[in-house]
Amino acid sequence: MRPALRQAWLRLHRWAGLSLGLVLAAIALTGAFLVVGKPVDRLLHPELFTAPAVAAAPASLDAVRDSLVAAYGPQASFTLRPPRQPDDTFWAFVHVPNGFDGLAYLDPATARVLGQRGDHEGLVNLAFELHSSLLMGDAGRPLLAALAATYLFLLATGVVLWWPVSWSRAFAMQWHNGLTRSLFDVHRLGGVVIGLFIAASVGSGVWMAWKPLAGWVTSMTGDRPVTPPRVATHAGPQASLDVMARAALAREPGATIGYIGLQPGARPVRFRLKAVDDPHPNGLTSVWFHPGTGQVLQVNRWNRLDAGARNTAWVYPLHTGDLGGPLHKAANALFGITLFTLGATGALLWWRRRRRLR
């Protein structure tokens, strides 16, 4: 490559990295932290995450709903998450208009509320908000897509700058030529060797954060987005959740309940099921019920959803590491640490160069 052209590529790479690369590095580090932070959070707060006693006969779903309505009022919306391990508590995502937003933790044996934590409380929640929305809510999600484009640009320009004249020295590390040279080798080889794996992690994260991407894929394939059914005005008593649960599971043998969505008023009740062949850890098969009669209104199996939603079934576990189990989670943490290291070494190299020039 001609020196002038190489210098131009280097400037583009350097200033893109210095302007946005450190933000990418922070997002990567929080992603790596979440892999470890969530299990540690569980250990530090057993009063929220560990059931007081393993229940031989768990409380009914109707008892859970009654307990939550008594605690948060009839206008609150709930998303129930049944225990997934024998000693898990029962979780409920709670939204109270102009009130509490967060997680409530219930005793699965008695349906008693054990405690709660707001969406903005705790180090793990703070790390998740930074990682998923830059602490800006929905407004931060398009910025994440822009940061992903920046990373792909950094990856492409980095590969161009690395491309060797002699392949025999392409992956050599020169530890004996001083700190600056060692940092340079760590930066360039880390980006080239692990860069494509990091790109998969960054791209899958953007897919999850920025919902319009799934809609665009659905539109390009000619599919129609799946929409929930509508319910006429309903103000009477609510049907039994336990009866609905049995009906939902009967339609998908071998499935487990991932979430149950409950909203006040004339809104259908949604049971999200994890089918045996569904790669999504929470399941994307939905069975919708009338809140008053308990009648099945609509069934959407995960592999018959629109193209955008079907892709999410694979992209989500790819990003979280659930697709490949503990080894995949560990690899994702490594990718996050590597991306943070690339940002840190790039900034340090620039600073050492500036100091030397002065």
pLDDT digit string (tens) for the chain, length 358 residues: 677 888 888 888 888 888 887 788 888 999 999 999 999 999 999 999 999 987 678 999 999 999 999 999 999 999 999 999 989 999 999 999 999 999 999 999 999 999 999 998 989 999 999 888 888 888 888 888 888 888 888 888 888 888 887 777 778 787 777 788 888 888 888 888 888 888 888 889 888 888 888 999 999 999 999 999 998 876 678 999 999 999 999 999 999 999 999 998 889 999 999 999 999 999 999 999 999 999 999 999 999 999 999 999 999 999 999 988 889 999 999 999 998 988 888 888 888 888 877 7
User: Residue 225 and residue 219: Cα distance in Å, rounded?
Assistant: 8
pTM, full prediction: 0.87
Q: What are phi and psi of 286, to 5 degrees?
A: -120, 135
Q: Looking at residue 184, what is its pLDDT?
A: 86
